[in-house]
Amino acid sequence: MKTENYQISALEKLANSKLVNNIYPMIDEISILYREGVIWIRINLKDPSITKENMYEKGFDPHYLIDYHMRRLMKYLGIEKYTPVDFVVYDAKGKIID
């Protein structure tokens, strides 16, 4: 089954809602694109103290966010559970940290 634009739009809205923000308050914004069969997720952090070295200590686990929380949201939107997902995490200054 093909993933549709409305599903990606809905996923992005849910990812930026209190559902995710209450768990990960350090997230500023999540942007999602669907290209060539892959869901691409850009995670922008707002906490300037978070770095690649300390993000897990600060309570931010991007892998758990994607593999658990985002996959559960995808299920409710009818997105195939085996759809490939990739992500990039940006710190508060816009630098890639993961």
Residue pLDDT, tens place only, 30-82? 999 999 999 999 999 999 999 999 999 999 999 999 999 999 999 999 999 89
pLDDT band per the 50, 70, 90 thresholds, residue 1: low
DSSP state of 77: T
Q: CATH fold of 5-90, please?
A: GMP Synthetase; Chain A, domain 3 (3.30.300)
Place of tokens 């890639």: 96
Tell me which DSSP letter residue 66 carries.
Answer: I
DSSP 96: B
Can you tell me which residue has the tokens 């299920």?
A: 75
Prediction pTM value: 0.92
Q: Per-residue pLDDT for 95 more than 70? A: yes
d(CA 20, CA 4): 22
Structure confidence at residue 3 as a pLDDT band (50, 70, 90)? confident
Instruction: Domain ranges for the chain, please list them.
Output: 5-90
